[in-house]
């Protein structure tokens, strides 16, 4: 992969290209990938509702998921992080557990905030394929609109 941004679509049953990009960025300890689910035109949230969210902060009816490579710092390699901006309110870690998408053992949440979203730190030994699978499942169950099953990956290699 070059140092350029890249965008492509995929389905969770065929994650190979996304995992390959995660492996490449992970080896460099730089970059991130935003994952945005596809929504049919007729299921798109009402834009007028979005204007009313300026004061409430609930703007992500369609979740935005992010995988970020763990950086290599003075204390060694940091864990990869997973993030989800969502519109489902507080205590999303407990909500995910109730929806049969609990945090796997050893994973820990760093942030669970209704406006800033969920941030999870993943142990170094967890494969990128397993990280992606959990992130996509969590993002899908947190969506407040129906999803098509296709996702867009926006790869940002970092500098």
How confident is residue 56, by pLDDT bands cut at 50, 70 and 90?
very low
What's residue 46's pLDDT? Answer: 66
Instruction: Indicate whether 60 pLDDT > 80.
Output: no
Give the C-alpha separation, 64 to 126, whole Å: 22
d(CA 64, CA 70): 19
Beta-bridge partner residues of 152: 9, 36
**Which alpha helices (H) appear in 4-127, and where do they start and end?**
16-28, 47-51, 92-98
pLDDT recorded at residue 58: 41
122 vs 105: CA distance, rounded Å: 10
Instruction: Decide if pLDDT at 126 tops 70.
Output: yes
State what percent of residues in the chain have pLDDT above 70: 86
For the packed helices 16-28 and 128-142, what is the interaxial angle rounded to 10 degrees?
120
Task: Tell the residue number behind the tokens 């309110």, with chain if given.
Answer: 89
Contact 109, 103 (CB under 8 A): yes
pLDDT tens, position by position, 85-100:
987 777 899 999 999 9
Which pLDDT does position 57 carry in this prediction?
A: 38
Question: Under a CB-based contact definition with an 8 Å cutoff, are residues 118 and 102 in contact?
Answer: no
pLDDT at 54 over 50: no
Flag whether the pTM goes above 0.85: yes
Mean of pLDDT over the chain: 88
**Residue ranges per structural domain of the chain:** 6-156
What is the distance, to the nearest Å, from the Cα of residue 158 to the centroid of all Cα atoms in its chain? 17
pLDDT-derived band at 47, boundaries 50, 70, 90: low
Is the pLDDT score of 144 beyond 50? yes
């Amino acid at each position: 992969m070059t140092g350029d941004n890249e965008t492509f679509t995929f389905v969770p049953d065929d994650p190979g290209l996304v995992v390959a990009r995660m492996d490449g960025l992970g080896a460099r300890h730089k970059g991130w990938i935003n994952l945005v689910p596809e929504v049919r035109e007729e299921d798109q949230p009402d834009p007028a509702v979005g204007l009313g969210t300026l004061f409430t902060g609930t703007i992500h009816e369609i979740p935005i998921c992010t995988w970020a490579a763990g950086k290599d710092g003075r204390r060694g390699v940091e864990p990869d992080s997973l993030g989800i901006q969502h519109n489902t309110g507080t205590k999303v870690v407990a909500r995910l557990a109730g929806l049969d998408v609990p945090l796997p053992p050893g994973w820990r949440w760093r942030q669970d905030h209704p406006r800033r979203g969920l941030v999870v730190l993943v142990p170094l030994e967890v494969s990128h394929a397993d990280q992606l699978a959990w992130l996509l499942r969590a993002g899908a169950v947190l969506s407040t609109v129906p999803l098509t099953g296709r996702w867009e990956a926006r790869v940002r290699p970092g500098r």
